[in-house]
Amino acid sequence: DSGVTQTPKHLITATGQRVTLRCSPRSGDLSVYWYQQSLDQGLQFLIQYYNGEERAKGNILERFSAQQFPDLHSELNLSSLELGDSALYFCASSGQVGGELFFGEGSRLTVL
């Protein structure tokens, strides 16, 4: 158990819909990362937050947004969903600069 909790574990929705994925980092970790993993593109970095502030952006689409709340949990919002958004979405947290990342078990999104 990494200490990082992601919900929901599985989500099936239709094209055009909007979903929210939630992540609770390890206790005390201020930094949260979101990654997308699909079969054809591997593990793609989406966005990172540190103590509520966005710190880094990767290959995140404009239809996607995220935030980190004062209690340090984070949400990834995916809107106008397309078939190609079907993927495993991981959240990871880190407690120190350059330290290891602790990954959640992921949220598997299926868009039909």
Of the pair 75, 105, the CB lying nearest another protein is at 105
Q: Is 68 in the site for another protein (CB under 8 A)?
A: no
Of the pair 5, 13, the CB lying nearest another protein is at 5
Using alpha carbons, list the distances in angstroms from residue 84 to 16, 47, 92, 99.
12, 19, 22, 32
- Answer whether 38's CB lies under 8 Å from 87's CB: yes
Q: Which of 24, 48, 68, 74 binds another protein (CB under 8 A)?
A: 48
Q: Is 105 in the site for another protein (CB under 8 A)?
A: yes
Q: Which of 25, 87, 90, 109 binds another protein (CB under 8 A)?
A: 90
Provide the sign of the torsion angle of the four alpha carbons 52, 57, 61, 62, taken in this order. positive
